[in-house]
Chain A
């Protein structure tokens, strides 16, 4: 499926990716050619085929509901780009 410029802008918005106005044309071309490649799947009828999510068809393993992680708050916070009083800082969300 060939994408138009507004498709690209919409996808970038959904993906929360800022892309430069100048690059939209290039993304439009590249994403369209990738989609043309993947649409080769449509040549095959898969009506009666079960989708495969896990190669071994394994199901999610459950575990006991117990605490397994120790508290390492300071260590985890050390990677935060901005923090105060042990909390992550982001721009104001509520006016």
Chain B
């Protein structure tokens, strides 16, 4: 098998067995990035590729293995979403504003991967400041979906998704504020997991909406996602919202029996308006879980429709506060010849931010302004409580909640970029998970019109191991996760 078709787990085992060195496999993936990602016809899934650093890290990993100190990750190549601060390596967050920003430190997730000896090949493209569902808002250009280059890969972790789907890397990190791991994973045929809020440290992960943001793995299989979460997850005193909870070995329980587990199907995730083929694809996937001994139960999450309005208050409000640090003074873009400080702030921000970021900053500024705070932000936080209560009640009766990740497969570039509200509808099945802080994942569940779609699995707080277990058992009896885009095999 060609090296790039190996899964993360297979690469880890291959390195251990001495089938190839880290230097060899790192070079192989770097060559693929050069061939398939760059130039006019390339996918544009990377903003920055770091071949010299990667090859040096690979050599160090091979030496470490020779010295007998290897971990499962030592020498394994992967990529980071360009939202994670990397000491000494350009970190843009997809924005002109940070087009020249070289962080002076590593994000905790980055440090965790480094400590294991993982080899980062570069930083992946993304919607600007993680605001978007199509990767079209990146200052560094749109990313093409390897399944069909005229369609979007999803967002905001669209570069990570396209890179893994095209086998440019076996796995990549992502972040998910309203669906940014699950939606691109679904549209590119990957297995992606957004953990419980507080599971992975947010330190050094450029903040969009701090009460919603979570980092997580994007890989081809549940087994690979488990291997990655093992290292990404940690309690971190540097993130004040990190929660002290032991990190289990997520790979240890992958093969546990799932017979007897109860799957809740919320009727709000299967509305009359849901595309017939999407519904059928989901039901076929759920039938596989029934064959594995799970039972299915119809449930209701009555506040689901309020997730979009609540999210589009909470997220913009928090982003307007977080992005106020980008003022052209200490780092990032600065306008030419400011005439005074006010002009410096306004033009640096006006010129440095793209349209979608400016829209969200303004919505958030309005929602937090005097006289409107209670009507918008506090109201949205109350709706969050209702959404959370729905889930708490549902998880008294079921082990998992399942439904579609997206209303449809990947759409054409440009199709929704002209209408922000239509673009926001893309997230209608993913937002409630973030608002409640629950873990959610997307697993490949088949194809519609030759494009992959994902089944969403939501679990109770801290139940990532059970979700990965269920996903892995599903992937043992199905083949959807092995499908590759044409020309990629």
> Interface on A for B, CB 8 Å cutoff?
3, 7-8, 11-12, 14-19, 27, 30-31, 33-35, 37-42, 44, 46, 49-56, 58, 60-61, 63, 72, 75-76, 78-82, 88, 90-93
B312 touching A80, Cβ below 8 Å: no
B385 touching A52, Cβ below 8 Å: yes
A44→B342 CA distance, assembly (Å): 41
CB distance from A71 to the nearest CB of B (A): 12
Known: A30-B359, A34-B359, A52-B388. A41 touches B241 (CB 8 A): no
Chain A residues with Cβ under 8 A from B329's Cβ?
80-81, 88, 90
Known: A27-B362, A54-B211. 14 other contacts (CB 8 A): A18-B350, A30-B359, A37-B308, A44-B303, A46-B383, A51-B381, A52-B385, A53-B381, A55-B437, A56-B197, A56-B437, A76-B104, A79-B331, A91-B339
Our pick among A51, A55, A79, A93 for the contact of B104 (Cβ within 8 Å) is A79
B436 touching A55, Cβ below 8 Å: yes
A81→B246 CA distance, assembly (Å): 42
Chain A residues with Cβ under 8 A from B13's Cβ?
none
Our pick among B102, B241, B333, B349 for the contact of A58 (Cβ within 8 Å) is B241
A35 touching B366, Cβ below 8 Å: yes
7 closest Cβ pairs, A-B complex:
A55-B437, A18-B350, A51-B381, A81-B334, A79-B331, A46-B382, A18-B346
- Identify the stretch in B130-138, B293-301, B372-380, B408-416 within 8 Å (CB) of chain A at 4 or more residues: B372-380
CB distance from A3 to the nearest CB of B (A): 8
Chain B residues with Cβ under 8 A from A63's Cβ?
237
Chain B residues with Cβ under 8 A from A37's Cβ?
308-309, 312, 421, 424
B340 touching A41, Cβ below 8 Å: no
CB distance from A54 to the nearest CB of B (A): 7
CB distance from A27 to the nearest CB of B (A): 7
Known: A11-B365, A35-B363. A41 touches B383 (CB 8 A): yes
Q: Among residues 152 to 177 in chain B, which have CB atoms less than 8 Å away from a CB atom of chain A?
A: none
The range of chain B's interface size is 35 or more
Chain A residues with Cβ under 8 A from B338's Cβ?
91
B313 within 8 A of A: yes
Convert B332-362 into 0s and 1s, putting 1 for each residue whose CB lies closer than 8 angstroms to a CB of A.
1110001111111111011101000011011
A33 touching B420, Cβ below 8 Å: yes
Chain A residues with Cβ under 8 A from B104's Cβ?
72, 75-76, 78-79
Chain B residues with Cβ under 8 A from A39's Cβ?
309
Q: Tell which of B328, B344, B363, B461 has the most Cβ of chain A within 10 Å.
A: B363
B380 touching A41, Cβ below 8 Å: yes
B421 touching A16, Cβ below 8 Å: no
| Nearest-neighbor residue (CB-CB) of A76 within chain B | B104
B331 touching A49, Cβ below 8 Å: no
A37→B308 CA distance, assembly (Å): 8
Our pick among A56, A61, A79 for the contact of B332 (Cβ within 8 Å) is A79
A76→B330 CA distance, assembly (Å): 9
Chain A residues with Cβ under 8 A from B435's Cβ?
55
A30 touching B420, Cβ below 8 Å: yes
A90 touching B366, Cβ below 8 Å: no
B380 touching A11, Cβ below 8 Å: no
A25→B388 CA distance, assembly (Å): 38
Our pick among B101, B102, B306, B327 for the contact of A16 (Cβ within 8 Å) is B327
